[in-house]
Amino acid sequence: MEQLYKIEISEYLEELGKELDITPKEHEEIVKSYQAVGNWLSKDDSSLTPYNPKILPQGSFMLGTIVKPINPADDIDIDLVCKLEKKPNAWTQRDLKIRIGDQLKSNSTYDRMLWEYKDGENYNEGGRRCWTLKYADVAGYHMDILPSFSSEGLTYLMEKTFSADSELNEHDLQALAIRITDTEKENYSTDTNIENWHKSNPFGYAQWFLQKALISKRKMFSLNESIDPVREYEKEKLPLQRVVQLLKRHRDIMFSSDEFDCENRPISVIITTLATLAYDRSENLVDAYSGIVARMRSYIEDRFNPETGQYEKWVANPINKVENFADKWGDVKQKQDYFYLWLDKLEEDLEKIKGSNGKGLQYLNESLSKMYGKEVTTRVFVNHGKKNVALREKGQLKMAGGTGVLGSVGVKVQNHNFEGDFGK
Amino acid sequence: MGSKYFTEKKHFAGMPANRQLSAIIEAFPDAKILSNRRDNFALEIDLQPSTLCEIYRIKIVYKSNISVKVYVVDKVLKIAHNRKKLPHVYSSEKQQLCLYSPSKKEWKSTQYIVNTIVPWASEWLYYYELWLIDGMWYGGGHNEYLNEELNKRIKDE
């Protein structure tokens, strides 16, 4: 692809990513909300205070890959970890879960929010792993709070900086793991030894993701920067973050069609993992996107399972190689089929994007609308048009000789009005 | 006295046709000259407002001190699905573009066409493609759809 074309198409994709993202205002509201939860859990007279409770974001909110739901009436899910650094020896998983739940319920607002999620279905025991707070419809989100236990070392590791060149330290990654509760585990209400609790590593995963996402321009980074509750809203996302947003939205649109069973659509963690593995640190968005789409498929492994005597598809958790994110594909064949259908469609759609050179903005709008949704796409084009009027009015729009390309090169486009004889 | 008359005449006559023409050719060496006389010319150039846009061939017809006219000549321009005619044209059939406000004297024949009319034409083509998307003109100028907006406002109230 020609250089100028790459720059121009990347600009549209970048703007599209911004439209899919939450706004700075929404971001601020969400941060305020979970900080308030954190403050409630750790305030002086909270029963949890001796155990140093903290609320930290995890999942797509931490990775910076959140996308708004297609239907504006649907909630955004915000994944949070509630981590305690100490616990009485006698506490089981259930004790930890219920204590956190009780502390939430002692606040009338949170008590109501726990009731309002799924009509109070999970009010007593919570969900399988989380407590869910349903915020008002106008807020448009709910928060999944994952009760967990971690060592004190976690805080220190989160301050450690890393860059695009650093080797990920396996030991540090493992030390970022937390222990979580799971109502479906046999030992849920009996086992007090955290070594036997389910291990999860959202922060290790985030470190892996962010280290792979960094481009050399950005020197040093620490996990704290992405979980810091008062961090600035990231206006400039890394190319990998944008690509993951575009991929997730593409999935959302494709599987919103009635011909698919939405339950079995590709899950975000598999998409994010494969995209990260396939990313080559391209700085240009369209290069990053096409490279990822072209290579993603090759990172799905075929592994022989000696127990069944059969090969099965594997998308290994990068920080826990024995965990297969695609473990459900064996039981529900449709999940695997859908994933490959989605990859096929992605490749086909990418060709359309790459072939939009010289076809007209209306053509690009139509292709992108089908892939990412009409409303967001058209908004991107309208904003582009308005931005160019503003640039011209400020005397910053130029036109290149020989081609007529409008941009930052050539003669200044003087102010004028498209009026003709209208004024007469 | 004679010299004063001369400068005034020169002022009113605008820029000589050959100077306008050579400035265009300098910026657009591929221009195709259709006619070239002492006080008028016609030529065609290709414009592509962005690499994502189509390439359009436009014809510029200049008469010193009288007019400059711009037409899209290589294709029949499509109409947005919710519209019946092109926006900001003198004539939808002739595809002659309205690029500036004559009453506000936004263009005078003392100005180089290549620095004014040509960039405006490129902008027109860019906003035309955006117009094809939803039938709205985002490039500024007079409001083509004023009645429609007034009706909507009345309905909303």
Write out chain B residues lying below 8 Å of A364, CB-based: 52
Interface size A-B, in CB pairs within 8 Å, comes to 167
Number of neighbouring beta carbons within 10 Å of residue B96: 18
Please write the tens of the pLDDT for every residue from A164-198: 777 788 888 888 999 999 999 999 999 999 999 99
- How would you class A389 by CB atoms within 10 Å of its CB: exposed for 0-12, middle for 13-18, buried for 19 or more? middle
* Predicted pLDDT at A229: 53
User: Which of A382, A412, A419 lies nearest to residue B100, judging by beta carbons?
Assistant: A419
What residues of chain A, 357 to 396, have a C-beta less than 8 Å from chain B?
Answer: 357-362, 364-365, 378, 381-382, 384-386, 388-389, 392
Which residue in this structure is represented by tokens 């309208």? A382
CA A196 to chain centroid, in Å, comes to 29
The structure tokens 């359309």 sit at A352
Instruction: Assign A311 to helix, strand or coil.
Output: strand
For residue B70, what is the nearest residue in chain A, using CA coordinates? A420
The pLDDT tens digits for B29-40 are: 999 999 999 999
Which of A13, A419, A424 to mutate to test binding with chain B, by most B CBs within 10 Å of its CB? Answer: A419
The pTM of the full predicted model, rounded to 2 decimals, is 0.92
Query: Nearest C-alpha of chain B: how many angstroms from A103?
Result: 48
From residue A8, how far is each of A3, A382, A397, B109, B121 by CA, in Å? 9, 15, 15, 34, 20
* Inter-chain residue contact A419 with B118, CB threshold 8 Å: no
Q: How many CA atoms lie within 13 A of A295 on its CB side?
A: 14
The residue-averaged pLDDT of B112-122 equals 97
State the average pLDDT over residues A311-324: 94
- Structural domains of chain B sorted by starting position, each given as residue range(s) with its CATH number in brackets: 2-156 (3.10.110)
Q: Tell me the C-alpha distance between A13 and A282, whole Å.
A: 15
CB pair distance less than 8 Å for A424 and B102? yes
Q: Residue A8 is nearest to which of B30, B51, B118, comparing CB atoms?
A: B51
Secondary element (H or E) of residue A198: strand A198-200
Asked whether the beta carbons of residue B98 and residue A420 sit closer than 8 angstroms, the reply is yes
DSSP secondary structure of A113-133:
HHHHGGGGTTTTT-SSS-EEE
Q: Taking CA atoms, what residue in B is nearest to A386?
A: B138
Of B29, B102, B119, the CB nearest to A411: B119
Subunit contact B48:A422, Cβ cutoff 8 A: no
Q: Alpha-carbon distance A95 to B62, whole Å?
A: 86
Q: Are A316 and A323 contacting, i.e. CB atoms less than 8 angstroms apart? A: yes
Q: What angle do CA A284, A290, A296 make, to 5 degrees?
A: 125
* B80 Cβ contact list (under 8 Å, min separation 6): B131, B132, B133, B134, B135
Could B140 and A407 be called an inter-chain contact, meaning their C-beta atoms sit closer than 8 Å?
Answer: no
pLDDT at B10: 47
What's the rounded Cα separation, in Å, for the pair A23 and A379?
A: 14
CA angle A3, A4, A8 (to 5 degrees): 120
Burial A162-188 (b: 16+ CB within 10 A, else e): bebeeeeeeeebebbbbbbbeeebeeb
**B129 within 8 A of B113, measured Cβ to Cβ:** no
Could you report the per-residue pLDDT of A17-31, keeping only the tens digit for each? 999 999 989 998 999
**Whether A48 contacts A84, CB under 8 Å:** yes
3-state secondary structure B108-128: CCCCCHHHCHHHHHHHHHHHH
Look at the block and give the residue holding tokens 């020989």. Answer: A402
CB contact under 8 A, A402 and B102: no
pLDDT in tens, A196-248: 999 999 999 999 999 899 887 666 777 777 766 555 566 688 999 999 999 99
Beta strand pairing call for B96-97 and B89-91: antiparallel
Phi, psi of A113 (to 5 degrees): -65, -35
**pLDDT value at residue A421:** 64
Question: How far is it, in rounded angstroms, from Cα A381 to Cα B90?
Answer: 26
Closest CA of chain B from A97, distance in Å = 51
Dist CA A124 CA A51 (whole Å): 23
Taking the mean position of all CA atoms in its chain, how far away is CA A203? 14
pLDDT tens digit sequence for A383-417: 999 999 999 999 999 999 999 999 999 999 999 99
Q: Name the minimum distance, in Å, from the CA of A394 to any CA of chain B.
A: 14
DSSP category for residue A106: T
CA separation, residue A412 to residues A7, A389, B102, B118, B138 (Å): 20, 13, 20, 11, 19
Tell me which range, A41-45, A88-92, A151-155, B114-118, is most confidently predicted by mean pLDDT: B114-118
Test B55 with A381 for CB contact under 8 angstroms: no
Best A365, A399, A412 residue to mutate vs chain B (most B CBs within 10 Å): A399
State how far the Cα of A376 lies from the Cα of B49, in Å rounded to an integer.
23
| DSSP state letter for A317 | E
d(CA A145, CA A37): 10
pLDDT tens figures, B56-69: 999 999 998 788 99
Residue A351: C-alpha distances to residues A50, A115, A347, A348 (Å): 57, 48, 6, 5
The torsion defined by the Cα of A68, B136, B51 and A359, in degrees rounded to 10, comes to: 90
Contacts of B26 in chain A (CB under 8 A): 401
Q: What is the mean pLDDT of residues B105-123?
A: 94
Tokens of B133: 């998307």
Q: Which residue in chain B has the smallest CA separation from A417?
A: B141
Of A356, A399, A418, the CB nearest to B98: A418
Q: What is the four-CA torsion angle of B106, B109, B112, B118, rounded to 10 degrees?
A: 60
Which of B45, B51, B54, B89 would you mutate first to test chain A, the one with the most A CBs within 10 A?
A: B51
Mean pLDDT of B39-64: 96
| pLDDT over threshold 60, residue A58 | yes
State the SS3 of B31-68: CEEEEECCCEEEEEEEECCCCCCCCEEEEEEEECCCEE
By three-state DSSP, how is residue B18 classified? helix
pLDDT digits (tens, 9 = 90+) for A77-107: 999 999 999 889 999 999 999 999 999 999 9
Kindly state whether A257 is in contact with chain B, defined as any CB-CB distance less than 8 angstroms.
no
- Interchain contact A214–B (C-beta under 8 A): no
To the nearest whole percent, how much of chain A has pLDDT over 70? Answer: 96
More confident residue, B110 or A348: A348
Which residue is closest to A12 within chain B, CA to CA? B52
Task: Compute the mean pLDDT over every residue in chain A, rounded to the nearest whole number.
Answer: 92
| Closest Cα in chain A to B123 | A406
Q: How far is A225 from chain B (nearest CA, A)?
A: 37
Write the DSSP symbol of residue B142: S
Residue % of chain B over a pLDDT of 70: 90
Task: Give buried/exposed letters for B11-45 (b at 16+ CB in 10 A, else e).
Answer: eeebbebeebbebbeebbeebeeeeeeeebbbbbb
Disruptive mutation site among B133, B134, B142 for chain A (greatest number of A CBs within 10 Å): B133
Put simply, the answer to whether B119 touches A413 (Cβ < 8 Å) is yes
What average pLDDT score do residues A44-72 get? 93
